[in-house]
Amino acid sequence: MGEAQADGRTAVRALLAPVRGRIRLAVALQALGSALLLSPVITGTVLARMLLDDPGDDRVWAVLMTGAGLLSAGIMCRGLADLVAHLADNSFTLWVRRRLVERLSEAPLAWFTDTTAGRVKQGAQDDVKALHHLVAHSFTGLTAAVVTPLAVYAYLFAVDWRLALVMLLPLAAFAALYAAVMRDSMAEMDRYGRALAAISSAVVEFADGIGVVKSFGEAGRASRAYRAAVERFTSFFLGWAGPMIRPETLANQVIGPVALLMLTMGAGTGFVAAGWSDPVSVLAFALVGLGLSAPIGTLMVDLQSMQTSRAAAERLVALLDAPVMPSPSEPGAPEGTRIAVSGVSFGYDPAAPVLRGIDWSFEPGTVTAIVGESGSGKSTLAGLLLRTADPDEGTIALGGTPLQRIDGGALYSRVGAVFQDARLLRTSVAENIALADPTAGRARIERAARAARIHERIMQLPRGYDSVCGEDAAFSGGEAQRVCIARALLLDPAVLILDEPTASADAEAEHEIQSALSSLLTPDRTVIVVAHRLTTVSGADRIIVLDGGRIAEHGTHTELLTRDGVYRRLWDAQRTADGVTS
């Protein structure tokens, strides 16, 4: 547990480095303000003693003015502390979110395979929010909780050291009870973060999958994972927080105003009766001693916030340390669009390779299909051609230049893709298409949409191309796919990768998508098609068949059917499933 705390503190220090100076200034202002805010109760005690000694003492007004001035200065310092802390928080939040966006935009796409959307959402939203409370509130709150008692006890010991020793008893009891609470709390803080991350992931999966599940009449199944995550979190939280409720409540009561007042009056009365103290000193303890309750009472909240922020900081640091796709120090320029794959092996888990020893060349002006059973590595190979990750072994070269030596902008201006999962951003339809070329004018965007057979559907939307996807632009799966095809047409890449673009479409939508794709199949473009349904690629120039991560066979559709191989078995199985017997 000690190592975990040290790691958390290190993560917090590293993240807060850009605003550390402003946090220190806020803490200093808060410390001064907390001490000065005790001036009214101290002034009241001084005035009581002066008036009891001499009701006509001329110094009364001077004491009052001094107390008022100190109080005003304390209020001003506290206000400035809050202002500086919140300004620091605004700067920090902007800085860390920008860093997250920059880092995640540089991470290889394969990294997102192992990192859930809920985890990213937790880091960018929940964890940043936890650190917001730390920067804007917790540091200043902890300062007040520490400085105020120190100032109070310094004054009380100056008034009557014996009675001050008595007043240390509730503080010692509070510290002992609180230490037990914090010890149990820290031990489970990491599990608390993981449980919250599980809920975030379940929410994202629920939102993504509800449409598919409901379409099969299983609405309850869509929320089952979410309910299970919530139930696990509830069970964990009750088991974690339940045992801490009693000592925490007792700690708060021990340091509460009523308990402090009763202790002060009881002990003070005994001290006065014994001649060890006087009534005015007891009054000082009654007034000033009550100032202990509020700041110490907030100590629990602020320290728990510190724990939460440490765990949040560790998760944020992990996201900010996400692997970055290496950029070439001396970028090379591809000469041509031939893609050569040489001895490529790759696995998301190095111990379980998905691809093994792939050798192939995708020639300019040809259509090459990649087929195979589910899990054979088809989409993985297509992803490597887009450099979603680098091979564990071997090289992939475009125009004679390894992909690792090609700048990202240069690569993606030459190689485009249309995936089976059509993703549209929550922005206008025109901007979704123009992702391929943000400088494109409306005329070019419309030409691409017409070629993709989606222009007429867009013009039926309330605001046409200005309609926003997810708001007043709702597309079916096939229509969204055609918007993505329009995007690829606008890019006009020399190499195009189609990753099962019709896999989830019905017959009518598949026909429309195929018609739109025909606009992309030009004689001078290298096209690579990943397909599950073999009928969609029977006209390809070349077909490579993957089996167990290796190229089992290759050839044209006719050549492959003449062999008793993997392709023939897949073809026969699909024809049988479609009800075709000859």
> Checking phi first, is residue 323 left (phi over 0); if not, alpha (psi -120 to 50) or beta?
beta
Q: What tens digit of pLDDT does each residue of 193-202 get?
A: 666 666 666 6
- Position 303, amino acid: L
What is the residue extent of each domain of the chain?
2-320, 339-426+483-577
- Closest C-alpha among 555, 556, 561 to residue 574: 561
Which pLDDT value is given to residue 561? 92
Q: What tens digit of pLDDT does each residue of 507-548 get?
A: 555 666 666 666 667 777 888 888 888 887 888 889 999 998
Which pLDDT value is given to residue 512? 65
Q: What tens digit of pLDDT does each residue of 460-518 get?
A: 999 999 999 888 888 887 888 888 888 888 888 888 888 876 655 555 556 666 666 66
Using CA atoms, how far apart are residues 576 and 290, in angstroms rounded to an integer? 85
Are the CB atoms for 355 and 377 separated by under 8 Å?
yes
44-62 residues labelled b (16+ CB within 10 A) or e (exposed): bbbbebeeeeeeeeeeeee
Which pLDDT value is given to residue 165? 87
Percent of the chain at pLDDT above 70?
79
Which pLDDT value is given to residue 214? 46
- Examine the pLDDT at 3 and tell me if it is beyond 90: no
3-state secondary structure at position 432: helix
Are the CB atoms for 348 and 114 separated by under 8 Å?
yes
Which pLDDT value is given to residue 30? 93
Which pLDDT value is given to residue 291? 67
> Checking phi first, is residue 275 left (phi over 0); if not, alpha (psi -120 to 50) or beta?
left
Which pLDDT value is given to residue 287? 74
- Examine the pLDDT at 281 and tell me if it is beyond 50: yes
Most confident of 139-143, 253-257, 304-308, 418-422: 139-143
- Examine the pLDDT at 222 and tell me if it is beyond 60: no
Local confidence band at 173 (pLDDT 50, 70, 90 cut-offs): confident
| R_g of the chain computed on alpha carbons | 35
Local confidence band at 216 (pLDDT 50, 70, 90 cut-offs): very low
Give, for 415, the enclosing helix (H) or strand (E): strand 415-419
Q: Which residue has the higher pLDDT, 512 or 10?
A: 10
Domain 2-320 has CATH 1.20.1560.10: yes
Candidates 3.10.50.40, 3.50.50.60, 2.40.50.140, 3.40.50.300; CATH matching 339-426+483-577: 3.40.50.300
Q: What is the largest CA-CA distance in the chain?
A: 119
Provide the CB-side half-sphere exposure for 160 (13 A, CA).
Answer: 24
User: Among 175-179, 215-219, 243-247, 346-350, which is the least confidently predicted range?
Assistant: 215-219
Q: What tens digit of pLDDT does each residue of 124-143 get?
A: 777 888 788 888 888 888 88
